[in-house]
Amino acid sequence: MSLVEATRRLNPELLLRWSVAVALLTITLKTLAWWVTGSVGLLSDAMESGVNLAGAAFALLMVRIAKRPADEAHPYGHHKAEYFSSGFEGLLIILAAVGIAWAGLQRLADPQPLLQLGWGLGLSIASSAINGALAWAMLASAREHRSMALEADGRHLLTDVWTSAGVIVGVGLAVATDWLWLDPVVAIAVAGNILREGVRLMWRSSEGLMDSALEPEVLAQIDRTLAEFTHPTIRFDHVSSRRSGQRRFVDLHMHMPRDWTLGRAAALRGSVEQALMSAVPGLRATIQLLPSDVEPHSGDKEDLI
């Protein structure tokens, strides 16, 4: 098994526990980097690591809730809990961006000399390398497990890596040119960058909570699977789909000859459902059986007006 395949199979809950531990470590390293240098850019980097910790902890809680089985109050399961994690992390990122921008504006009005940059930048680079490795593992696993919470935390960590890179470059330029105002300007630019990521995460979370359709490539796979069963006397229509965390749902009508027995129709439906679930991991298919000459009404009363 290759390293990539092994990484993809890592459990999302395990990776989120690692994310909490790594966030604690990077907060320590980056806070120390800010302490020895006095750089507001490095302070902004440390503040975002604090957001990483809160986001990872909440994501871990939501992933555990999402794993709960369906019950009487939640017959479709708890999969959407992961979208709350993504929205919460997006909100934290936005708040961190506001705090970083405020600190940068304060320092811009009163620039300060930077000290002991060797130690400070070394600590920042070390923490960024750790975050980068974990982000890569999390995004690979998120694609395999279709975990929105894991993807959100991984993308946040990746944003943190680029943030650190920008801060390091900005601090280095400030020292090389003796333009102390570059340090707070970089901090403000960092705030703008992570603000964009926070807004994007909140938007994706809202899309999930509003029952977005399945991805185009998944819908294409469903169409190809249904085409294997299509026959002059058998057809499918009214195909609708939605996503709910790791779970995928598709509803459709299957029309067949009126003279078929219920047992024969049910057997074919079972074959179609099994084929769909084999073709699309995590899919739950609901198929309504109808005679070929029946076209049911669908939609709310408002649609019929």
For 101-160, the pLDDT digits (tens) are 777 787 677 766 655 566 667 777 887 788 888 888 888 888 777 777 787 788 778 777
Q: Exposure pattern of 44-55 as b/e (b: 16+ CB <10 Å)? A: bbbbbbbbbbbb
Region of residue 153 (left: phi > 0; alpha: psi -120 to 50; beta: else) = alpha
Q: What is the pLDDT of residue 276?
A: 93
Class of domain 3-209: mainly alpha
Helices 81-109 and 148-177: angle between axes, nearest 10 degrees? 10
Is 0.75 topped by the overall pTM?
A: no
Q: Looking at residue 40, what is its pLDDT?
A: 67
- Please state the φ and ψ torsions of residue 261, each to the nearest 5 degrees: -75, 160
Interatomic CA distance for residues 220 and 229, integer angstroms:
15
Alpha carbon separation from 260 to 95, 236, 248, 250 (Å, rounded): 61, 16, 30, 24
pLDDT tens digits, one per residue of 252-301: 999 989 889 989 999 999 999 999 989 988 788 889 999 887 666 555 54
**pLDDT tens, residue by residue, 3-44:** 445 555 667 778 888 888 888 888 888 788 778 777 766 776
Give the CATH number of domain 216-304: 3.30.70.1350
Domain boundary assignment for the chain: 3-209, 216-304
